[in-house]
Chain A
Amino acid sequence: MDYGSQNLRENYILSPEASQLSIDLYSEFNDDSCKFIDQTLNKARKASAVFTQYSQEKVDKIVYSVVKAAINNSREFAKLAREETRMGLFEDKILKNIVASEFLYHQIKNKKTVGVIKEHKDEDMVEVAEPIGVIAALTPVTNPTSTVIYKSIISLKTRNAIVFSPHLMSSKCVAYTAEVLYKAALEAGAPEGCIGWLKRNSKLRKQTNHLMHHPEVDLVFATGGTTMVKVAYSSGKPAIGVGSGNTPVYIHKSCDIESSVMDICISKTFDNGTECPSEQTLVVDSEIYEQTLSEFKKINCYICNEDEIKKLTPIVIDPETNSMNYKFVGKDAYTIADAAGIIVPKDTKILLCKINSTHNRHPLLKEKLMPVLSVLKADSVNDALNKCLLVNHSGGTGHTAGVFASDEDIISRFQTLINAGRIIVNQPTALGGLGGIYNNLSTTLSFGCGTGGGNSTTDNVNVYNLLNIKRVPRRQIQPMWFKTPNQIYSNTGALSTLKSIEAKNVFIITDTNIEKLGIVEKIISALPSEVNFKVFTEVEPEPNRSVIDKGVKQIGNFKPDHFIAVGGGSVIDAAKAIRLFYECPETKFEDLAINFVDFRKRVTTFPSLGKTKLIAIPTTSGTGSEVSPACVIADNKNGLKISLFDYNLMPDIAIVDSELVKDLPLVPTVDTAIDAFTHALEAFVSIYATDFTDSLCLQAIDTIHEYLPKVVNALDNLDIRQRIHNAATLAGMAFSNASVGINHALAHALGAKFKIPHGRANAVFLLSTISFNSGIPRKFMPFTNYKKYIACKKYAQIAKTLGCIGDNIPELIEGLKDKIKELLKKSELPSQVCELGIKLDDYLTSIPELIEKTINDLSLRTNPRMPLIEELEGIFRNAY
């Protein structure tokens, strides 16, 4: 079917009467010039609503029909556009219409714009299309019909309704084109009102303004001059506004001159230079300058002399407005030259104007949508790039730029420096910018210029710019690991395993107490006789950075292949740090100490260790440091305790031998054991808990519950000691993977403030944190793998393990608390803060500070219940 019949055409060209088909309220202008816009948009609104029901198949059928109509009428549209605007070339306007239909269709025909449009399998996410709704589309005078074709097609493809507001000088051809396409769309089943347009009338400017601000309009899609684009963006509506440019093109000495000149000629003469991505100023290397100009001359371009440039300048750039003279936009070179009083051959393609390099503000360095080109000579690559930047930043930022070069380094430098949405390499910029002809850019008639051009996008505006894209991510479950040292030796006498280590140089880290107790001697005796060793005994409780530095320094040229840490948590922590800074001396402590919420997403990248091995031999039963990936180092200078955490820090071998704890006095024995008990209790209810950590926790809790009261009365019983010793390591393995919780956060704060041993500080909060975590949280702790709040059920499970009886969860939890009270009592441990010797007044005064410390503690992140400040205050008060 030929939608562009002569009658229909005459309807627009010869008669202003409304077509039956159009949403034409031409006759109503007299009464109320904006009433018809309301009606057009009302219809468009309904069309956009009905469009939501359309399938991809239906949409594609409509698009095909419209594309076909556009192709069949491309000559007619071109003719009308040329006649009405008197700009450009008929032949090129046909090509523009074909680009906007055939080429565009080729790119979008198989694109999904309905339902799921993209699947991101790796991210487990899909993108689903949602139409924009009603689009107010402004069209430029330079490309009126091709813009209508292009905007109609991408609007229909995305199930949007579109209403065109043309430039006054192209209103007839726009209306005609829109109507032909609308009819084709309706024939294919599109909803009525899906394409609308304003017609030529004296109030078009006012109507355009009304249109852009209309409540029924969802998006303003403006293509045109800078002023119009600014108006679009100030409409208060979401807008895609794309406007003018100023394309610099660098002709580097490495290019193929003949080919480059031909490309530029094709581009700059295309539709008499009305394409805004077309070349505006050439920057040519001095080495090829004369040759390049000769090539232009060869193909009938005219090189203006100084006098001619003076005459031409006010014709091209209006001296009053200081911008391009619209009278000559899209005119041929001969006409422009004639107007300037320059005699040139009739078949002149382009007028080239050599601009003096020192004249940075020459008017001809501005945008000129006509076959007039400025040329700058460059003395060097740097000079050329600076000149391109000058043009780029003289009204061209964000739009288009071009480079002709075979030197990839030059192309790379150019694309890095120049701010343009499309940087066209070894191609004509006008046709290259359109996309789909010389390259795979999205075919477009609207060139986004990004913020450089005051636009919201740098895209070649395409179907995806006319969609609301809904992202539908599926819940991602994090892989849960279980990491532990390669070897754990866990029985009385296990120290003898040192006999079989394959070591040459062993650096032993310990403290003076351990040395005095003769334990270091035992270690040395246990090592193979041929092993060299060196002992560092200067570790103090809560080791600080200077101790670590000392340790590293003391290694000197010893070149250890093994470190042995023998001692309590402080010694083992110090050994982890000494090994780290020995292996990676360039590592910065401050970088490693950056806090994190999710270990997997932490900012710090820990160095990999492996030159040496670390053997941890605990002499207390509680910290779990022999199997943990953490160490705490004091920063005395800043008064901070810094936790380093990474599985690279984890010892390679742990030797858990009760022979080494048999002389541990009662108080540190119970203090460290209750720390281990707390590790297990908290890891069990942690949001990171897994079946692997749970089983360790239950075993540790059960063992400590049974054997801690026994060890109190039998400190030298190696069997009991070994049970407690192993339980502490099991709990260490559990918290090394599941972490701890609020109890530790509270204890860290209290311990630091009142110098309370860590185990005791944990003990006084056990009952209140169980109560807190057993309640219904006011705020849950978010973690993708923790899908149900099961803390109370897990406490009940512990209670059952410890032999509690109850008909329901609350009863079991009460039973658990009773068991813990009993355990603390039997172990001569405090169950409340007041038992620690802290005065009530001092304690109450400190609560704000304690809360501050607690809230910043990393341990809180894995607690199942997120505490609010007031809840923390309650816990602190109740714990007294």
Chain B
Amino acid sequence: MLTNDENDLLQGEIISNETINRIFNKLENQLLDQKEVIVDLKEVIFISVYFLERLEVFLEKAKQLDAIIKIINVQPAIYKVFRVAKIKAILDSVS
């Protein structure tokens, strides 16, 4: 799980590339020592194209490292973005 600090980042409208980089840099670091990473999107109400791209890359990296990623508490509006984007890796990770 992300720490409280990163959880604070995972909320509201995530549109700043800087914020997105911080989130995914941290998540990618977790891949180094964790076999399972949970991405809790409970408080996220808007994501950008860059967020989607970073998430896709992150999932690709996790796959290479045999890590399991679980995307949880996805709001319907965000889930619709995932469905419309049709990115299989993301859809497979949503639980």
Interface of A toward B, CB cutoff 8 Å: 43, 45-50, 52-53, 133, 191-193
Contacts of B83 in A (CB 8 A): 49
Least distance between A457 CB and chain B CB atoms (Å)? 25
Least distance between A860 CB and chain B CB atoms (Å)? 43
Least distance between A49 CB and chain B CB atoms (Å)? 4
Contacts of A47 in B (CB 8 A): 49
Contact B84 A192 (CB under 8 A): no
Inter-chain pairs besides A46-B52, A50-B85, A52-B80, 6 sampled, C-beta below 8 Å: A46-B49, A46-B85, A50-B48, A50-B52, A52-B81, A53-B46
Residue total for B at the interface (Cβ-Cβ under 8 A): 17
Contacts of B53 in A (CB 8 A): 46
Across chains A and B, which 4 residue pairs bring their CB atoms closest together, nearest first?
Answer: A49-B85, A49-B84, A192-B49, A49-B81
Q: Does B86 contact A (CB under 8 A)?
A: yes
Q: Does B77 contact A (CB under 8 A)?
A: yes
Contact A192 B81 (CB under 8 A): no
Q: Does B24 contact A (CB under 8 A)?
A: no
Contacts of A191 in B (CB 8 A): 48-49
Residue of B nearest to A161 (CB): B49
Least distance between B12 CB and chain A CB atoms (Å)? 12
Residue of B nearest to A54 (CB): B46
Q: In whole angstroms, what is the CA distance A46 to B56 when docked?
A: 11
A49, A52, A192: the one contacting B50 at CB < 8 Å is: A192
Residue among A50, A133, A193 facing the most chain B CB atoms (10 A cut-off): A50
Residue of A nearest to B84 (CB): A49
Contact B49 A53 (CB under 8 A): no
Q: Does B89 contact A (CB under 8 A)?
A: no
Contacts of B78 in A (CB 8 A): 53
Q: In whole angstroms, what is the CA distance A50 to B81 when docked?
A: 6
Q: In whole angstroms, what is the CA distance A237 to B78 when docked?
A: 27
Q: In whole angstroms, what is the CA distance A192 to B52 when docked?
A: 11
Contact B84 A52 (CB under 8 A): yes
B47, B48, B84: the one contacting A48 at CB < 8 Å is: B84
Contact B77 A49 (CB under 8 A): no
Least distance between B37 CB and chain A CB atoms (Å)? 22
Contacts of B80 in A (CB 8 A): 49, 52-53
Q: In whole angstroms, what is the CA distance A548 to B53 when docked?
A: 81
Q: In whole angstroms, what is the CA distance A49 to B52 when docked?
A: 10
Contact A43 B49 (CB under 8 A): yes
Least distance between B53 CB and chain A CB atoms (Å)? 7
Contact A53 B85 (CB under 8 A): no
Contact A45 B86 (CB under 8 A): yes
Q: In whole angstroms, what is the CA distance A460 to B90 when docked?
A: 39
Q: In whole angstroms, what is the CA distance A193 to B52 when docked?
A: 12
Q: Could you give 5 example pairs across A and B, Cβ below 8 Å?
A: A45-B86, A49-B83, A49-B86, A50-B49, A53-B77
Contacts of A52 in B (CB 8 A): 77, 80-81, 84
Least distance between A352 CB and chain B CB atoms (Å)? 54
Q: In whole angstroms, what is the CA distance A491 to B52 when docked?
A: 83
Least distance between A183 CB and chain B CB atoms (Å)? 15
Contacts of B81 in A (CB 8 A): 49-50, 52-53
Residue among B46, B47, B49, B84 facing the most chain A CB atoms (10 A cut-off): B49
Q: In whole angstroms, what is the CA distance A193 to B85 when docked?
A: 12
Contact B77 A45 (CB under 8 A): no
Residue of B nearest to A192 (CB): B49
Least distance between B22 CB and chain A CB atoms (Å)? 19
Contacts of B46 in A (CB 8 A): 53
CB contacts under 8 Å to A, within B12-39, are none
Question: A-facing mask of B53-95, CB < 8 A → 1, else 0?
Answer: 1000000000000000000000001101111111100000000
Residue of B nearest to A134 (CB): B84
Least distance between B47 CB and chain A CB atoms (Å)? 7
Least distance between B48 CB and chain A CB atoms (Å)? 6
Least distance between B70 CB and chain A CB atoms (Å)? 21
Contacts of A48 in B (CB 8 A): 84
Residue of A nearest to B80 (CB): A52
Least distance between A215 CB and chain B CB atoms (Å)? 9
Q: In whole angstroms, what is the CA distance A53 to B46 when docked?
A: 7
Q: In whole angstroms, what is the CA distance A112 to B63 when docked?
A: 43
Least distance between B71 CB and chain A CB atoms (Å)? 15
Residue among B53, B77, B82, B83 facing the most chain A CB atoms (10 A cut-off): B53
Least distance between A95 CB and chain B CB atoms (Å)? 35
Q: In whole angstroms, what is the CA distance A45 to B90 when docked?
A: 14
Q: In whole angstroms, what is the CA distance A668 to B81 when docked?
A: 73
Least distance between A578 CB and chain B CB atoms (Å)? 65
Residue of B nearest to A43 (CB): B49
Contacts of A53 in B (CB 8 A): 46-47, 77-78, 80-81
Contacts of A43 in B (CB 8 A): 49
Q: In whole angstroms, what is the CA distance A192 to B49 when docked?
A: 6
Q: In whole angstroms, what is the CA distance A192 to B17 when docked?
A: 12
Residue of B nearest to A131 (CB): B84
Least distance between B76 CB and chain A CB atoms (Å)? 11
Contacts of B85 in A (CB 8 A): 45-46, 49-50
Contacts of B50 in A (CB 8 A): 192
Q: In whole angstroms, what is the CA distance A45 to B80 when docked?
A: 13
Contacts of B82 in A (CB 8 A): 49
Contact B84 A133 (CB under 8 A): yes
Q: In whole angstroms, what is the CA distance A49 to B77 when docked?
A: 10
Contacts of B48 in A (CB 8 A): 50, 191-192
Contacts of B52 in A (CB 8 A): 46, 49-50
Least distance between B91 CB and chain A CB atoms (Å)? 12
Least distance between A283 CB and chain B CB atoms (Å)? 51
Q: In whole angstroms, what is the CA distance A48 to B81 when docked?
A: 8
Residue of A nearest to B45 (CB): A53
Q: In whole angstroms, what is the CA distance A49 to B81 when docked?
A: 5
Residue of B nearest to A189 (CB): B15
Q: In whole angstroms, what is the CA distance A50 to B56 when docked?
A: 14
Q: In whole angstroms, what is the CA distance A191 to B48 when docked?
A: 7
Least distance between B18 CB and chain A CB atoms (Å)? 15
Residue of B nearest to A191 (CB): B49
Contact A193 B49 (CB under 8 A): yes
Q: In whole angstroms, what is the CA distance A52 to B83 when docked?
A: 11
Q: In whole angstroms, what is the CA distance A45 to B47 when docked?
A: 14
Residue of A nearest to B77 (CB): A53
Residue of A nearest to B56 (CB): A46
Least distance between B11 CB and chain A CB atoms (Å)? 15
Q: In whole angstroms, what is the CA distance A607 to B50 when docked?
A: 69
Least distance between A182 CB and chain B CB atoms (Å)? 13
Least distance between B63 CB and chain A CB atoms (Å)? 18
Q: In whole angstroms, what is the CA distance A47 to B87 when docked?
A: 13
Q: In whole angstroms, what is the CA distance A48 to B82 when docked?
A: 11
